Amino acid sequence: MSAQINDGLSVLAAMATPAVLLLANAMLILSTNQRLQTILDRVREVELSIAGVDAIREITDLSLLNELLLGHARRAKAAHRALLCLYGSAGSLVIVVVCLGLASLGLRAALVVALVVAFLGCAFLLCGAILLISETWIGIRATDQRFSAVMSLCEELSRDRPRGSASEREST
């Protein structure tokens, strides 16, 4: 009887492992995307506060906007493909859990199916990770372009402003 309990516990442990790994990976992806979005929002806020909402049309470089839009399009495609892979991985891990349960009931073919589907799920996960890395590099390039544009705008505006402190300007 204790051997059956030990076998049952090992099956449950084997079934829980894919789910825990998938949950940890999903949390990491979510937190990384939120941090990146926060950074981009802050850059946009700085750009708007420096240039002023009305002045942005005059100062903004249309070729930069075009590059940023194309980058966002590439980034969205990579993110969508990564989501497809991650969903495929999640589905595969669920199938693995079901097959492990069936294998514990004595269906030996289910163990072979579980192994094959587990490798497939890992391949989907790897593909999703590679696509997310690609998406991150596109985001890094866009962020660098935006930072460069904001810094150029700061330099341009600082050259246009009069030199000296406010008290010196008021006394003249």
* SS percent in the chain: helix, strand, coil, step 5: 90, 0, 10
Q: What pLDDT does 58 receive?
A: 47
Q: How far is residue 126's CA from residue 124's CA, in Å, rounded to a whole number? A: 5
Q: What pLDDT does 162 receive?
A: 67
Q: Which residues contact 42 (CB under 8 A, 6 or more apart)?
A: none
Asked whether residue 53 carries a pLDDT value surpassing 70, the answer given is: no
Q: Which whole number is the average pLDDT over 38-49?
A: 65
Q: What pLDDT does 85 receive?
A: 86
pLDDT digits (tens, 9 = 90+) for 115-147: 899 889 889 988 988 988 988 898 888 888 878
Q: Which whole number is the average pLDDT over 53-59?
A: 48
DSSP line for 34-64: HHHHHHHHHHHHHHHHHH-TTTHHHH--HHH
Q: What is the mean pLDDT of the chain?
A: 75
Written as six digits, the tokens of 77 are 């495609």
The domain ranges of the chain are: 2-27+44-156
Q: How far is residue 57's CA from residue 63's CA, in Å, rounded to a whole number? A: 13
pLDDT digits (tens, 9 = 90+) for 58-113: 445 667 767 777 777 788 788 888 888 888 888 888 898 888 888 888 888 998 89
Q: What pLDDT does 130 receive?
A: 92
Q: What pLDDT does 20 receive?
A: 78
Report the first-to-last Cα separation within the chain, whole angstroms. 97
Q: Whole-model pTM above 0.75?
A: no
